[in-house]
Structure 1
């Protein structure tokens, strides 16, 4: 029996708790509560763990392969890291996985494990061609080594599975290094059977992918057992199935749908509530929403504490829309929290799938994409292909975009009410996709990083920004260019060094370059940010309701950012007025300026001015400008 290996990690990068099995795996003796991660792990191991925590904080959950001891090449774990915003901590679950065996198989295929494992194993080269199989492969598939050598894995998989599902699988394999799930295989005699796959990408010493390991087993005998692959896990707050259980059950349902030619619907419901109210409100709503689902349907909670409805026998969009209307009507009634009637905004996105053919993960990703559109706010929108997604762009598409002029420089003007002039601008290099339209950097930079294209992107940023740097000295009142760095860019911020070099050549001091960061980034990347500060770069920080009192001088910000959510929320709810005024007061105590972003109305501008914020960006100040438009406006002011 495998005992659980899990731990809880606080945002200050220290352990709060860990099971004995987790500590035993690490070889740690004694109490771990309050111990910094840096004392438990080496720098290289800590780097991987921090990266996973960063992804979990931004996405809700992250899964990665982890080697806790660099010197021990045999111990590989799968880490599932979840960010719990209610408790304010990271939950790390460590499991020995099939990927670990896959690595051993690829490195030492002559070992008995390769020959005698009951699973089928395929070893593939960098061109995705089979070069070795084990006896279990022939026993399960009916194909001999001679039948498949030099072939792609499609010789054993069922070709009726949609290309879209394989594209999603491939993206996961490229991004995360592995993928697990169910696929249908085709036996040599022609019959189809369900298989449970573990796929893993192999990397050479330089980090380039040079091959793949595919393991699978025939699960026909247990296919009818609903609990075979269910984690049977439930959300602590609501008692509803959690995301892990949701994905297990939905994948099984989609597989059955592909055989029975049925439709299935998914609705994702996000509640726009403050962190303080979210736990009680979600708990209260869970019972109310449960009454809306049929016995054949499923209500679950994902990692971000969004509600997820799975509707069985959903033949068309009208059925999905009618259900969404019932939920919307229910959400109009206030919820009692500590004797106070709470009204809240929400967003709903729906996905309809006919005849299966895609994974549960992709179905949920599509619904999350819908939530990012304005139409879903206090309403309901269905997914359609025209929405696109920055999260599923292929390497070829991104490479084409970087090299063929899809990248466009944009400047979001920052206006000073004190001097009544354009004082700064936020720089972004967007991607103008032929079908999806303008994509912001946060939508595609994670993929650029995973595909090794981030350096090319930064070279384009430097090249397109160079004309502005050369003209900058002529605009004395234009103080700062601001760049919002994504987490992936903080791992290696060479682009900042290159920009500083160009600025110095043009006679511009480095202090006129400002980096926009949030407090979580400050915690996760202290060394990298300290190095940027040492080069003279200024920091514009979104404190995210944290105090600045415990920050070291090397990490102390030069200006505070009032984010667009607070700017908007304080106009609708007096509770957020206190948050805004607390931030401005904190800035005043430390003799810092405040910049408010996302200002779009006269009312917002007036209130912010009364509160003491005199630097703003947003549609009220002006829309995004091209380089030519920015220079033209600066010429008029000067």
Structure 2
């Protein structure tokens, strides 16, 4: 019995009334998804009469927002479970697009064989505009409108089965934004959200129609690339991703620079399971971060073996303060004019038994509770109190600088204690406090109190954007420090170079000295010098020294 004849037999008088009177659009399609029956509500919702769509594929109704992988998941679910529900965007006859909530069930003939599909849908624009999201919450990321992990996992699983059947390769890429937390914390969540939306758009411009792109977490995206011609083809896509993210992003008239670290895994070389491919892409992504960020890495087993434990704990930090694993290093600051050491930066570092040397910026986040902060500040005070010997032997040094975090400037008691300590440190010489831009803006009053001790102020933290003239005029720092992350990447990252140029230009207008940290090559030194930066520190000039090594070095030089 033909499908059309069977439908006519199936529909009793009551069923016919329900079919004609339903406020939802109903259509019946054959196994090729061609439309063979619609109800009156179908025309009201879509604008098409039955005569206009009879025999047409249901793709005629789609807005084209979804890729092939999405529909593969739908048909796989229908095959396994007999039904599917979800949100699909339709295009009206007049060209407008609108979201619809679809319910699809398989249609079986008298022998129990699947012979077609019955689909009901309704326009859910009103629900979405009132804030009630249907599929968005279940399958899509609300901010970027990309598929979420749940949906991506289904797409990946379905596509892997097809790749196995057709002997095709497939690549998974994990993209993690570098320093996004800094942007969110310092510039605000609204700026971070706008940036994520633009990143999603740029990543979307890289993928093909058969690819899939999803947002996994705050600053992490994942891509599925079916039918790739091996690792080499995946690498070309990864390079395009990295290139897309290096261009500045304008948010609220402010140009922000960000980069991405990309990890790649490939089926079948690395795994035949979707979750394993994602995990291995994650391992490769972390290797890319360790390799300097703003780059990509392809997974290898060596990455797993060398990864090791990498979790820093607060209790480990407190033990390290007692055991002596945290030590103060002294980084000489050189004047390009005199070719001599003119100042010193005091910088703690942690010699970890498993992770090796850990710089202060990587463990300062552990100083959260009062006990660990108290222990650290006791240690810091004991280290800085021994600086008298430097001033006694080398009174010509301009200053010794050290870093203060925002949490160290909370409360009147802390300010009074630091004020007392600064006065004590400065009996013999000049001290400089180094804070990041956010701290300088948020703790302006506290810093003003501290600077009554005649200590100098240095401001840093321009890794992802340059400061405004107004901010610098308001803060009135004695010095601007260009961070090592910025200096180490400026010659290969156009965005970072723009930040350096902007900061140097503003500093010149305001007649503020600039110190470049992290100078590690003659090329970087020459470039900075040509732009008027005459104070530098970094590996090019030497590694951090112990106090005795510093004294010996100064004795030879002076």
Match of 1:598 in 2: 518
Residues 35-93 of structure 1 deviation map (CA, whole Å, 9 limit, x = unaligned): xxxxxxxxxxxxxxxxxxxxxxxxxxxxxxxxxxxxxxxxxxxxxxxxxxxxxxxxxxx
Give 3-state SS (helix, strand or coil) of 1:446's partner.
helix
1:240 aligns with 2:146: yes
Following superposition, the deviation at residue 388 of structure 1 comes to 5.6
Tell me, yes or no, if the aligned pair for 2:330 and 2:344 is still in contact at 8 Å: yes
Following superposition, the deviation at residue 605 of structure 1 comes to 1.2
Q: What TM-score do you get using the length of structure 1 for normalisation?
A: 0.49
1:398 aligns with 2:312: no
Tell me, yes or no, if the aligned pair for 1:413 and 1:426 is still in contact at 8 Å: yes
> How large is the RMSD of aligned CA atoms in angstroms?
4.9
- Which of 326, 332, 353 lines up with 1:407 in the alignment? 326
Following superposition, the deviation at residue 579 of structure 1 comes to 4.1
Residues 280-295 of structure 1 mapped to structure 2, 5 A cutoff: 282-289=200-207
Following superposition, the deviation at residue 468 of structure 1 comes to 2.6
CA distance in 1, matches of 2:202, 2:135: 32
Match of 1:545 in 2: 466
Match of 1:378 in 2: 295
- Which of 238, 242, 248 lines up with 1:331 in the alignment? 238
- Which of 506, 525, 539 lines up with 1:586 in the alignment? 506
Tell me, yes or no, if the aligned pair for 2:343 and 2:399 is still in contact at 8 Å: yes
Match of 1:524 in 2: 442
Tell me, yes or no, if the aligned pair for 1:567 and 1:599 is still in contact at 8 Å: yes
Match of 2:218 in 1: 303
CA distance in 1, matches of 2:280, 2:150: 10
Match of 2:36 in 1: none
Tell me, yes or no, if the aligned pair for 1:462 and 1:498 is still in contact at 8 Å: no
1:380–1:324 Cα change, 3 Å:
farther
Following superposition, the deviation at residue 614 of structure 1 comes to 0.5
1:453 aligns with 2:453: no
Match of 1:632 in 2: 552
1:498–1:235 Cα change, 3 Å:
same
Give 3-state SS (helix, strand or coil) of 2:371's partner.
coil
CA distance in 1, matches of 2:195, 2:139: 28
Tell me, yes or no, if the aligned pair for 1:285 and 1:335 is still in contact at 8 Å: no
Q: What TM-score do you get using the length of structure 2 for normalisation?
A: 0.55
More helix by share: 2
Residues 432-447 of structure 1 mapped to structure 2, 5 A cutoff: 432-447=351-366
Following superposition, the deviation at residue 491 of structure 1 comes to 2.9
1:491–1:336 Cα change, 3 Å:
closer
- Which of 396, 403, 416 lines up with 2:335 in the alignment? 416
Tell me, yes or no, if the aligned pair for 1:515 and 1:540 is still in contact at 8 Å: yes
- Which of 477, 484, 489 lines up with 1:557 in the alignment? 477
Give 3-state SS (helix, strand or coil) of 2:440's partner.
helix
CA distance in 1, matches of 2:179, 2:326: 36
CA distance in 2, matches of 1:486, 1:353: 44
Residues 139-189 of structure 1 deviation map (CA, whole Å, 9 limit, x = unaligned): xxxxxxxxxxxxxxxxxxxxxxxxxxxxxxxxxxxxxxxxxxxxxxxxxxx
Following superposition, the deviation at residue 415 of structure 1 comes to 0.6
Following superposition, the deviation at residue 539 of structure 1 comes to 1.6
- Which of 524, 527, 531 lines up with 1:607 in the alignment? 527
Tell me, yes or no, if the aligned pair for 1:401 and 1:407 is still in contact at 8 Å: yes
CA distance in 2, matches of 1:284, 1:366: 24
1:404–1:564 Cα change, 3 Å:
closer
Tell me, yes or no, if the aligned pair for 2:432 and 2:456 is still in contact at 8 Å: yes
Q: Which moved more, 1:470-479 or 1:496-505?
A: 496-505
Tell me, yes or no, if the aligned pair for 1:473 and 1:507 is still in contact at 8 Å: no
Following superposition, the deviation at residue 434 of structure 1 comes to 0.9
Following superposition, the deviation at residue 373 of structure 1 comes to 0.6
1:590–1:441 Cα change, 3 Å:
same
Give 3-state SS (helix, strand or coil) of 2:368's partner.
helix
Tell me, yes or no, if the aligned pair for 1:481 and 1:513 is still in contact at 8 Å: yes
Residues 216-227 of structure 1 mapped to structure 2, 5 A cutoff: none
Residues 81-480 of structure 1 mapped to structure 2, 5 A cutoff: 232-234=139-141, 236-237=143-144, 239-241=145-147, 245-246=148-149, 268-270=174-176, 282-289=200-207, 299-300=214-215, 302-304=217-219, 306-309=220-223, 326-333=233-240, 346-349=260-263, 370-374=287-291, 378-380=295-297, 384=304, 387=307, 392-450=311-369, 452-480=371-399
Residues 185-205 of structure 1 deviation map (CA, whole Å, 9 limit, x = unaligned): xxxxxxxxxxxxxxxxxxxxx
1:448–1:365 Cα change, 3 Å:
farther
Structure 1 unaligned regions, length at least 5: 1-226, 254-264, 313-320
1:616–1:494 Cα change, 3 Å:
farther
Give 1 or 2 for the bigger CA radius of gyration.
2
1:323–1:272 Cα change, 3 Å:
farther
CA distance in 2, matches of 1:509, 1:432: 31
Following superposition, the deviation at residue 549 of structure 1 comes to 2.6
Report the number of matched residues.
378
Following superposition, the deviation at residue 615 of structure 1 comes to 0.4
Match of 1:618 in 2: 538
Tell me, yes or no, if the aligned pair for 1:469 and 1:503 is still in contact at 8 Å: no
1:518–1:398 Cα change, 3 Å:
closer
1:565–1:431 Cα change, 3 Å:
closer
